[in-house]
Structure 1
C-alpha cells in the first residue's frame, strides 16, 4: 500500500462527512457522549470553536444522531440565508420607495431581531405544522422584509485610528407611519406563530444553523455583525417557546470575540460546548489529533496489511518518519500547526501529494510541502483579520514583521509601526496574537523558555514578554533571521 492510497479527509468537514459510514469510521472528537446528548436534547445550544476545529463535522454527527433517534430536523447555512437573492437582493429590487432607515442602533437591532424570529418561526411552522399558517409565512411580498433589506444595505462599518469598530448608516431618514404599522403587525404575527407552535408542535424537532461567520468584505462587515448578534438572540427567544423545539448554532470563536457582549457571553457560558484540541503539556502519539488521523488511516487500510491487528504505535512506525529536524515527528506537527484537525489534514495532504508513490511519508515530502502549507495558512489568517484592517494596513503589517524578524518586543513593534505610520499598533499586535500569527516566547527562568499562544488557551497576550512569529508562517512571511537570544532573555 502506498501513501497515495491513504484517505486523510477534507479540509472542509461538510464535504467529508456525507454518510453515516463516513461519520462512524472517520470521526473522532474529544466531546463526551453527555455533551452529544445535551446538544440533541437542547440542554446545550451552541457549538463554538476556532476555524478548523470541527464544528461542521460535529453538526453532521448530531444530524446523524437525530436520524437514529427519529428526531426531525432542518439544516440551515447562515451564509446561504445571507446571500439568498430571495431573502436579500429581491427585497432591495422590489422595494420602490425607501423610507425605513432607522436613526438609533436599537432600531437596527429590533429590525434584524424581528427578521430572524419571523423567518425561523415561519420555516418551522411550514415544515412541521399544518398549512393553516400560510398567511403568516415569510414571503418576499411583505414590505416589512423588503424594508429590512434596505436598512441592512445602508449599514456601514468604520474603524477609528485606535482600532475601535463602529456601525453606522449611509443616510438617515424618518421611517413612515405605514412601515411602523408593518413592524407592529410583524410583532403580532410572531406572537401568534409562537403560540401556535407551542400548542401544536407535538414532537421534538431540531434546527441546525451552520456557517455563522463574519463576511470577509469590510464594506458588509457591519451588516453581518448586526445580523449574527440578533440571530443568536432570536434563537434564545425561540428555544424558550417549547421544549419540543430546539435551535442549535455552530459559531466561530472569533465571531463571539467580535460581538463580546454580556448577553452573548452568558449564553455561551450556560449553553455552549467549546471545541478545543489543545492538551497541555505532554504531546505524544496518543494525542486526540493523532488518534483522529489514525482513524482515517485505518479506514483507508481496511482489509490490507493486517491493519486491524496494528497498535497505534505500529501504525505510526508504518507511515511516518520518526524525526523531522531532529524532533519527534508527532511533536513537530504541533509546533507547525495551531492544533486543529484542519491543520493536520492540510499539511498531511500536501505531503501526500509530494510522495504518492512512496510506501511511507518522507522528510523530503515535508520539505517540498512546507512552503505551500505556510502560504495557505497565512492566506486563511489574512482573510480573518481583513475585516478589521484595510489593504494598506495589512501591507504595512507584513513589512513590519519582515523588518523585525523572528522574535521582537512590543516596543520594537510600536517603533516600527510609528515609522511606517501604522495606527493603533497595540490593537493590531493584540489581534495578530489572537489569530495565531504571533505568540509569547520568553525565558521564564529556563533555557527552553515558555510559550503562550491564544490557541493554547492563553487568551490574553503579555505585552511585557517577547513575541515570536508562529513557525508555520516563516516561509509565507519571508522570515529568515535567526533567533535573537537578547530578546528572549530580555523579560
Structure 2
C-alpha cells in the first residue's frame, strides 16, 4: 500500500536529518550548479526559487564536508527567530523603528551588522563546544548563555552586551581592557571585535561552514513596517556574511558563511537598497533545473529515485509500480511529459506530487493514472499555496482570494482579455508588477498559435519576459485548483 511508502519531506532539512539514507540515495544535483564554488573566497550566496533545492544542496554539501573533518552548523532565519527577537533587535537601533511612517529612506538607516556578527560568532562557538572544542573564544562568546537563550539574549537597550566577570578576565588576558565600561555592558562593536581576535588567535586550525538558510519573510503575516525591519535584517545578513568571509580569507582561516535566498526576497531588498546589488553581483550561484525536451531529465530521474527507494529495505521496480504512459480521455502523454507540463521544474514539485498521490490513495498498491488523477486537486492546492507565498512578498495576502475568484479559463487569447477578466479584480497594487510576478512565479505563461503546434513560454523554462503580444495561459499544475481542467 502507498501508506507504507515514504516519498520525502517538503523540508529537505527534515528529510536529511530524519531519513538520512533516503535523502542521500535520492539526491540529484542540477547541471547548473557547482558545489565546489561555495566557499569564503568565491561564491557564498545560493539563489533559487522556493522548492528549488537550496536547503537540500547545502545539507548534501554539509555531509560531504563533515566526512572531510569540517564542522558545520545550520542557522534558519525563519525558524530560529521569534517575535521577541525582533523586539530585542529593534531595541539596539538608534532610530525609532515604530515611527518610520512615510520616510522612504528610513530603511537605509537600519544597521544590524554587529548584531549578526555577534549571532554568527555565538553559533560558531556553540558548534565548537558541541564538538568538545573548548577555548577562551568559546567561553567569551557564550558567556553565561543557556541552551534556552533566545537569539539576541543579552543585548541591552543601549546596544550593549552584558558581560560576565570571566568574559572580562579573558579579554584582559588578550590586552582588551573592558574595565572602562559601566553597568557590565560593552558596545556590540567591541564585543564583536574581541570575538574576531579571540577566534583568530585560538582557532587557526579549525575548519567550519556556517549555513544561513530560510532568509524569508512575507506580507501575508506582517505589516509593512515589520516587513521593512525584516528586510533590513536579511540585507544585513548578506553584508555581514561578506565582511566575515573577507576576514576569514585575509587571515587564511578555513571558515565559511554560506547564505541562501529566494529571488523575490533578493529583488525586494534590491528595490529598497540598490547598494546591496554589489554584494549579490559576482557572489551568487543560481540554482535552476533544466526540464528540457527528451528523455531522462534530471527531475524525472529524481522522481524515479524517490519511488525506487520509497520502501525501507526494498528496491522498487519503477515500471510495474508506476504508469509511464498516462491517458487523459483521448490524450495520451508520457509520465515524463506530464511532469514537464505540470510542475515548475523544482524538486519540491516532485515531492508534493508523490505525497499528494500517497495521501489520497493510501490503500493503493501502485501509482497509476487513476491515483494521479485523484491527487491533482490536492497537488494544485499545495502548489498554489507556495506560489502565493512568493508573490505575496511584494503584493500582500489578497492575491490568492482574488485569483481564485477571477481565473475561470485555462487560456486567454489576448492579454486584453486576461486584463479585463482577471487583473481588473485587483485594486490598490501595481498591476504591471503583479503581471511580472505572476509570470516569474508560474501562475501564467505565454502561448503562440502561429506555428503548426502551439508553443508555450514559461519563466521556469528560461523565458525572461512576459509578452503582452501573445496569448496568456494558466499553468497546467493549477488547472484543478482553479477548476478549469
TM-score (norm: length of structure 1): 0.76
| 1:406-485 equivalences in 2 (<5 Å) | 406-416=411-421, 420=425, 422-423=427-428, 424-443=430-449, 445-479=450-484
Q: What do you get for the CA RMSD once the two structures are aligned?
A: 3.4
| 1:19-418 equivalences in 2 (<5 Å) | 20-30=20-30, 35-39=34-38, 43-83=42-82, 85=84, 87-89=85-87, 100-101=95-96, 105=105, 109-125=109-125, 128=128, 130-131=135-136, 139-145=153-159, 185-202=187-204, 203-215=206-218, 216-219=220-223, 220-242=226-248, 243-260=253-270, 264-280=276-292, 282-284=293-295, 286-300=296-310, 315-325=318-328, 326-391=332-397, 394-402=400-408, 406-416=411-421
Q: CA contact under 8 A between 2:159 and 2:187: conserved in structure 1?
A: no
Q: CA contact under 8 A between 2:388 and 2:399: conserved in structure 1?
A: no
Give how far 1:439 is off.
0.6
SS in 1 for 2:394: coil
Give how far 1:417 is off.
6.3
Deviations 1:404-449 (A, max 9, x none): 6532432233334685463432222112112111011112x31322
Q: CA contact under 8 A between 2:30 and 2:289: conserved in structure 1?
A: yes
Q: Distance in 2 between matches of 1:134 and 1:108?
A: 34
Q: CA contact under 8 A between 1:46 and 1:248: conserved in structure 2?
A: yes
SS in 1 for 2:395: coil
Q: CA contact under 8 A between 1:109 and 1:226: conserved in structure 2?
A: no
Is the alpha carbon distance of 1:145 and 1:136 closer, same or farther for their aligned partners in structure 2, counting shifts above 3 Å? farther
Unaligned runs of 5+ in 2: 129-133, 143-151, 162-183
Q: Distance in 1 between matches of 2:340 and 2:86?
A: 43
Unaligned runs of 5+ in 1: 148-181, 481-491
Give how far 1:98 is off.
9.9
Q: CA contact under 8 A between 2:380 and 2:478: conserved in structure 1?
A: yes
Q: Distance in 1 between matches of 2:419 and 2:286?
A: 34
Q: Distance in 2 between matches of 1:263 and 1:380?
A: 29
SS in 2 for 1:73: strand
Q: Distance in 1 between matches of 2:153 and 2:298?
A: 46
Give how far 1:207 is off.
0.7
Q: CA contact under 8 A between 2:75 and 2:212: conserved in structure 1?
A: yes
TM-score (norm: length of structure 2): 0.77
Give how far 1:382 is off.
2.2
Q: CA contact under 8 A between 2:291 and 2:299: conserved in structure 1?
A: no
Q: CA contact under 8 A between 2:40 and 2:245: conserved in structure 1?
A: no
Q: CA contact under 8 A between 1:417 and 1:425: conserved in structure 2?
A: no
Give how far 1:262 is off.
5.5
Is the alpha carbon distance of 1:263 and 1:91 closer, same or farther for their aligned partners in structure 2, counting shifts above 3 Å? closer
Deviations 1:206-265 (A, max 9, x none): 111111112332413222211111111110001111132210112222222322366544
SS in 2 for 1:327: strand
Q: Distance in 1 between matches of 2:25 and 2:482?
A: 38
In the alignment, which residue of structure 2 is the partner of 1:152?
Answer: none
Deviates more, 1:240-249 or 1:40-49: 40-49
